[in-house]
Structure 1
Amino acid sequence: MPRTLFLLDPQKLLFSLSSFIAAALTLGIAFEASLPRPWWALLTVYVTTQPMAGAFRPKILYRLGGILTGATLSIVLVPNFQHAPELLVLCMAAVTGVCIYLAVLDRTPRAFLFQMAAFSTAVISFPYLDDPADVFTTTISRVEEMTVAIVCVTMVHGVLQPWSVTPVIHARARAFLADAARWTRDALGQRHTRLEYEHRRKLAADIAELGMMAIHMPFDQRRAHAGRRMVLALQKQLSTILPLASAAANRLDMLSALAPLAPEVGQLVDDVRHWLSQPGQAPCATGSGLAARCRHLAARTAARPSWSELLLASLCTRVAEFIDAQVEGIRLVDRLGDGDAWRDEARAAGEREKYFPLARDHGLAALAGVATATAIILYCAVWILLAWPAGSATAAFAALITCSFAAQDDPAPVLGRYLGATLITFPLAAFYLFAVLPRVDGYAMLVVTLAPALLAIGYVQATPALSARALPMFSCLIVALGFLARFQADFATFINVGLAQMGGIIATIAVAKLFRSVNVRWTARRMLRENWAEISQLALPSRPFRPVHWTGKAVDRLGQVAARMAVAEGDDALHAADGLADLRIGRNVIAIRRAMAGLPEATQSTLREVLEGISALFHARSRKGEPLPATRALLAHIDAAIDTLASEPNHPALLALVGMRCNLYPGAPPPRMTGHA
């Protein structure tokens, strides 16, 4: 028991040690070069460092680009508007708001460029609104300090932590395949199709995160281009697994509700569940044979069209497609590290996709940008009206915090924990400033003295459950100590700086509660309405469509909605909106549109009526913001189309119509079939 209490994670300890070595090197260079604010360089080390080296390197480059952008904006704005401080504040607020809008909209590591540009502009410019004469010199100094920190962090972590993002992608993809297999096995065994929101969120979010990680691959391996294309192909493959698995479970539910399953069908389902329980490479060896059995049964059954037989054909087809997708996903994961093999395979397949589409909400991004700009204006107004000497520090610190948490739906709870971590660290900062540092003489002793605190907080930063508390602890400690070329221990300055930090955090919390405490249901409803609007557009036969693009955005939006609805009340009306059903309907629309070209004109006219009804239904849902029930007229169009296509066994449009009817009218009686044979 005592041994486990003091057991340290070697990887977290190595991360903390690497950060500390980078901090010591940065501090030494800053002192040697006589940079005016060494503490700013030291803080930059811990702001930019990341526990995962694969994500660390590209973010460093984006941050450096953001710093240079912010410095340029500061030099352009401050001297030209020095005689009109009100106009200068408005310009800075507008620039910062636009940067935050772009950062929230991007949703990739590139967002760090816009985020750094936003708060580096504020941090550099605010202290010189009253006296802009030295803004150029000060801006150059800030850029030098931050650049030194970034270079040191990159070098030290690159040497001591040469970790790659590829193993992380490999592990995440394997975990996704295992989770999808586990859920599908349970769904087929327990006869339920509704996936819990937490599982839905995890599976859909994992797909989107693979694309985020793929951006880091050029910084991790020599053959990055082929590796990134492989991850994108893997994303597209995994994005088909979730709707196929849920569709198969949905058909099995409806088929078993009509009558007991035939022994042959029951045995097939049991064999699929057993196949899904096999670990490792075993599914690849037997998957093709199992999928062939499913397709054989689907083809034999579809030749005798009745509703139950069409359900069986749909079940077997979707199970076969799921098995193929699962096997292909396993194969791609196994070949993830083989860049040569993938480059040949991608060239043979004519792979052209450059990215995995993400669902971006311009409204939410604009709200974040407007809230940030408004907050900056309020900070500066209070500072100027009160004529507070430390007001510039408060405004700069508040702007930094506001920009850091701009992507949160409701940043107030996170900011509350930020405030708590800051309060906890103040006594430690006071102890160092008034009891320890007065006895320190020279750079070497300073580094040794700071080691316990920086190593401990660095270990906290490497712990996922506690990492959010590390930044305020570093900020409070380093800013309060305020390292200069000569030591200064002034109690009044310490209190003033502390009050400025506290004031910035409290002001940020107040602004967040006024402008950013958005209810998760409101955000989820916006995303659902956007999804419904896209399905409405997708179903219009006259509009061009990109199936892979829509599927990627729909899966990404599914993860975002599920993440928010997981924390909403269980009786919330939005829980009735089944994102998986919408995803399946969209895929059925795609199948119908693809299959229409080769059909007779009369059949195409019937299918157009179905698509127009789908478009009208989802347009009404988007406009109303509620999952309105499908109309009887649409049901009649779907049944008429099913009856028309029943004479063409195994037609993709027929199976898509069956799936569409199951999703939109799960409780409707079976359609009347006229017996085409």
Structure 2
Amino acid sequence: MPVFLRLYLLPERAVLQFALKGTIAMALSLFLAMEMSLERPYWALISAVFLQIRPQSGLVIEKGLCQIGGTLVGGGVGVAIMGLFMQMPGMALSCLMLWVSFNAAASALVRNFNLTYGFAIAAATATLVVVLSLVYSSTPTSYSVFDTAVARISEIALGATCATLVSMLLWPARVRNIITSHARTVVNATFSCLEQQLTLNADAQKARQSVVDVIQAVVQLDNDSSAMVYEGPAGAGRVRAANVLAQRTLTMIAEIQIFGRLMRYAPELMSQHVIDVLEDLRDTFRKMRETSSEAEARQLAQNLRQRIKHVRQENNSTPLQRRALHGARELVAYAIVMLEANKAIVNADKTRLKAPSLSVYRDGLLGLLTGLRAGLVFALGAVFWVASGSSSAVLMMVMPVIFSIMFARFPEPAVALRKVILGAMVAIPTALLFGNVLLAQAPRDFEMLVLVFGPPLFLGLMALANPPTLAYGLGFCIIYTVLVMPGNHMSFDITSTLNRSIAVLVGLIILWAVFRMVGSPGPLVMRRRLISATADDLCKLWRRERERNEHWFNGRMAERLQRLAGYDATLPEDKRNLLDLGLTGLNLGHVSIRMHSRLAEHDEPRVLAASRHWQQALAQAFQKCAWGEEDECFREASDSLLAQLRDHSDMDREQVELIEGLTERLEMTFHRHAVIFSDEAAAGRIQSANGI
């Protein structure tokens, strides 16, 4: 059954509850706005609509705070702009365009979507204060500007407050429920990923997708967990447990793919007892994933850890094999911590786990492009308004700016915006029928207004509750409200409604075209930037605080891995190597952190100098192998470090052999990547020479 037919003919109970809650929140905000005689009560409804996205109480509270904060800041900036350039509209619009661009650029540098929405509201509120002051007053005064700012802040804050209260009191949905689900998904996806990586005949595409699934689940867990602090005193404990789970999962992923490579590309270097351990590892993690008992899964992991320890003690191994066995024990230790963190999310009162949230990787180029895109959209709307002189053109400077900032985070913003435009096209005839025909015939009271205006909004909210139809529902609900403009002094002018419809559609189409023309940087540019940024971070690890290195590096690499996986998906199957390269960068960071921890205890200047040189050579070798080059400096740096450790440190023989096995494995990794990417570069040169 098509998605819309299934949505409306076989609706789920949760969808109906969501739509009813949204309708009640909007009716309450409209009632209070009309009772308070606010100038434009429909902005309170629009505020409430945006808060219906992700309706869990903690997320609604967080989004409401970001919305109110963005409104206050945007209103203050709007008043300041008009105070400085009240008699110079051109300068006021220019400053406003800079403010819009700044907020758009800042929104691209944060991971939390609620903060992104806060930046969008800050830009939109300042736009409303400045533009409405210029449109509806031939000679704006300080009092009229301030009055406009207070009205916009009151309307938006009222809508946010009503939506938050209804979300908390009526069929409340809690963030902790979805975080518990996210945590189970992270654990199961990680264990499944290990099974895929340690299966010799595993499908390459499935193995790659298993890594992508883990990374996406971790980022989703980290993004949503911050809102749990608004859900009671146990919320902070759940946030800490979620942070531990996210951090340990990324650390585990950094190790898992190494074992998969050893089994697939260098089985001859692994002795039979090491292969048996890896197979035992795979089978045990499968049993841990299948069991529903946390205690049983923990016992399976502890038993496996003891078996690996016994194998290490009973067998003679090469340095590389010793390193593999040591890494297997570390994987089991990480799995135990993950199980503890998963349990602690449910029993937050008893947890003592603590870890910071994932750091954010901020790409200045993406921020610049997002700011330029939003500024361009605003400038085109301003030109249209100045040229036409129509008050309806104000919508071209408000709605497209909000959507431009919000949709810039989407993987395919133009596709999502096209769905919004389709939803808006359905909203136009609906608004004409219900707003200009039915409401014009109805008595002028609030009850009849809700009875006529509410049913289409209820159906739009049902679409908003379903992820596949969310963009359609968002476009319908927002544009339907803007066109009807419910309030105390409604006008039923069809011409005015059509003018607003044309302005909204033209603005959204312009935004869609701008997204198509000013898209994200090409894969080659972003690949170069992401690899260079990873190499820079590898160099910085030794200069940062040791206790927070892992958390800082994990967060920055999580977003890079997501982007590399996205670029990989656009390439042919035989050339999808970018995610594998990114996972190598993640592993190199953890290798560096462990080396730093071990060598920090030795204050011998020659050892420290050799370790710093080795770290720089490691970052350089990673960057070169990404472009098909091998770096002999890394081998020389490794030999020098091992010589210094043997001659000038009190490190025991087993630890030195572990480091030797580690460097041997890294040389194999760099060689493999250099061969892969040199073949790709050679193929590209041949195609270029043949004119392909």
TM-score, normalised with respect to structure 1: 0.88
Q: C-alpha separation between the residues in 1 aligned to 2:266 and 2:517?
A: 51
Q: For 1:338-487, what aligned pairs fall within 5 Å after superposition?
A: 338-342=347-351, 345-346=352-353, 351=354, 353-408=355-410, 411-441=413-443, 442-487=445-490
Does residue 232 in structure 1 map to residue 243 in structure 2?
yes
Residues paired across the two proteins, number: 651
Shift of the 273–618 alpha-carbon distance from structure 1 to 2, 3 Å rule, reads: closer
Shift of 1:598: 5.1
Shift of the 354–573 alpha-carbon distance from structure 1 to 2, 3 Å rule, reads: closer
Does residue 117 in structure 1 map to residue 122 in structure 2?
yes
Match of residue 86 from structure 2: 82
Structure 1 residue corresponding to 2:309, chosen from 277, 282, 295: 295
SS in structure 2 opposite 1:215?
A: helix
SS in structure 2 opposite 1:90?
A: helix
Shift of 1:425: 2.2
Partner amino acid for 1:654? E
Unaligned runs of 5+ in 1: 670-677
SS in structure 1 opposite 2:183?
A: helix
Higher mean displacement: 478-487 or 144-153: 478-487
Does residue 140 in structure 1 map to residue 150 in structure 2?
yes
Q: C-alpha separation between the residues in 2 aligned to 1:256 and 1:619?
A: 27
Shift of 1:609: 4.7
Match of residue 28 from structure 1: 31
Shift of the 462–524 alpha-carbon distance from structure 1 to 2, 3 Å rule, reads: farther
Shift of 1:69: 1.2
Match of residue 273 from structure 1: 282
Partner amino acid for 1:174? R
Shift of the 658–594 alpha-carbon distance from structure 1 to 2, 3 Å rule, reads: farther
> Contact conserved, 2:241 with 2:341, CA < 8 A, in 1?
yes
Higher mean displacement: 80-89 or 108-117: 108-117
Shift of the 668–45 alpha-carbon distance from structure 1 to 2, 3 Å rule, reads: closer
Does residue 183 in structure 1 map to residue 193 in structure 2?
yes
Q: C-alpha separation between the residues in 2 aligned to 1:56 and 1:521?
A: 39
Shift of 1:543: 11
> Contact conserved, 1:41 with 1:148, CA < 8 A, in 2?
yes
Q: Give per-residue Cα distances to partners, 1:274-331, cap 9 Å, x unaligned.
A: 2112123222112122112223323554x55xxxx33322222212111111122012
Shift of 1:356: 2.4
Q: C-alpha separation between the residues in 2 aligned to 1:13 and 1:542?
A: 51
> Contact conserved, 1:20 with 1:454, CA < 8 A, in 2?
yes
Higher mean displacement: 388-397 or 288-297: 388-397
Partner amino acid for 2:595? I
SS in structure 2 opposite 1:110?
A: helix
Q: C-alpha separation between the residues in 2 aligned to 1:563 and 1:88?
A: 40
Match of residue 653 from structure 1: 659
Shift of 1:31: 2.3
Match of residue 665 from structure 1: 671
Higher mean displacement: 469-478 or 541-550: 541-550
Match of residue 110 from structure 2: 106
Match of residue 40 from structure 1: 43
Shift of 1:639: 5.7
Structure 1 residue corresponding to 2:620, chosen from 616, 639, 659: 616
Shift of 1:608: 4.8
RMSD of equivalent CA atoms: 3.2
Structure number with higher helix proportion: 2
Match of residue 675 from structure 1: none
SS in structure 2 opposite 1:384?
A: helix
Partner amino acid for 1:466? T
Partner amino acid for 2:619? S
Shift of the 147–363 alpha-carbon distance from structure 1 to 2, 3 Å rule, reads: same
Shift of 1:9: 1.0
Q: For 1:545-560, what aligned pairs fall within 5 Å after superposition?
A: 546-560=549-563
Shift of the 420–35 alpha-carbon distance from structure 1 to 2, 3 Å rule, reads: same
SS in structure 2 opposite 1:466?
A: helix
Shift of the 403–502 alpha-carbon distance from structure 1 to 2, 3 Å rule, reads: same
Shift of the 116–4 alpha-carbon distance from structure 1 to 2, 3 Å rule, reads: closer
Partner amino acid for 2:55? M
SS in structure 1 opposite 2:653?
A: coil
SS in structure 1 opposite 2:627?
A: coil
Unaligned runs of 5+ in 2: 647-651, 676-692
Shift of 1:534: 1.6
Higher mean displacement: 313-322 or 443-452: 443-452
Higher mean displacement: 538-547 or 333-342: 538-547
> Contact conserved, 1:126 with 1:393, CA < 8 A, in 2?
no
Partner amino acid for 2:396? T
Q: Give per-residue Cα distances to partners, 1:176-198, cap 9 Å, x unaligned.
A: 11111112112212266967554
Shift of the 243–547 alpha-carbon distance from structure 1 to 2, 3 Å rule, reads: same
Shift of the 194–527 alpha-carbon distance from structure 1 to 2, 3 Å rule, reads: farther
Shift of 1:370: 2.8
Q: C-alpha separation between the residues in 1 aligned to 2:75 and 2:119?
A: 13
Shift of 1:544: 11
Partner amino acid for 1:368? T
Q: C-alpha separation between the residues in 2 aligned to 1:490 and 1:30?
A: 22
Shift of the 72–542 alpha-carbon distance from structure 1 to 2, 3 Å rule, reads: closer
Q: C-alpha separation between the residues in 1 aligned to 2:110 and 2:544?
A: 30
Shift of the 617–256 alpha-carbon distance from structure 1 to 2, 3 Å rule, reads: closer
Q: C-alpha separation between the residues in 2 aligned to 1:11 and 1:378?
A: 41
Q: For 1:456-605, what aligned pairs fall within 5 Å after superposition?
A: 456-516=459-519, 518-538=521-541, 546-570=549-573, 575=578, 578-597=581-600
Percent of residue pairs bearing the same amino acid type:
19
Q: For 1:1-12, what aligned pairs fall within 5 Å after superposition?
A: 6-12=9-15
Q: C-alpha separation between the residues in 1 aligned to 2:589 and 2:493?
A: 66
Partner amino acid for 1:71? G
Match of residue 635 from structure 1: 635
Partner amino acid for 2:569? A
Q: C-alpha separation between the residues in 2 aligned to 1:321 and 1:179?
A: 18
Q: C-alpha separation between the residues in 2 aligned to 1:71 and 1:147?
A: 12
Shift of 1:377: 2.5
Structure 2 residue corresponding to 1:159, chosen from 164, 169, 177: 169
Does residue 97 in structure 1 map to residue 101 in structure 2?
yes
Shift of 1:153: 0.9
Q: C-alpha separation between the residues in 2 aligned to 1:83 and 1:477?
A: 35
> Contact conserved, 1:198 with 1:563, CA < 8 A, in 2?
no
Shift of the 363–257 alpha-carbon distance from structure 1 to 2, 3 Å rule, reads: same
SS in structure 1 opposite 2:62?
A: helix
Q: Give per-residue Cα distances to partners, 1:365-401, cap 9 Å, x unaligned.
A: 1221233223322321332234445333322333233
Q: C-alpha separation between the residues in 1 aligned to 2:545 and 2:479?
A: 59
Shift of 1:643: 8.1
Shift of the 245–200 alpha-carbon distance from structure 1 to 2, 3 Å rule, reads: same
Q: C-alpha separation between the residues in 2 aligned to 1:266 and 1:619?
A: 31
Shift of 1:540: 8.0
Q: C-alpha separation between the residues in 2 aligned to 1:528 and 1:156?
A: 47
Higher mean displacement: 147-156 or 568-577: 568-577
Q: C-alpha separation between the residues in 2 aligned to 1:543 and 1:160?
A: 47
Shift of the 534–368 alpha-carbon distance from structure 1 to 2, 3 Å rule, reads: same
Shift of 1:613: 2.0
Higher mean displacement: 390-399 or 146-155: 390-399
Q: C-alpha separation between the residues in 1 aligned to 2:209 and 2:477?
A: 33
Shift of 1:145: 1.7
> Contact conserved, 2:423 with 2:471, CA < 8 A, in 1?
no
Shift of the 389–284 alpha-carbon distance from structure 1 to 2, 3 Å rule, reads: closer
> Contact conserved, 2:564 with 2:578, CA < 8 A, in 1?
no
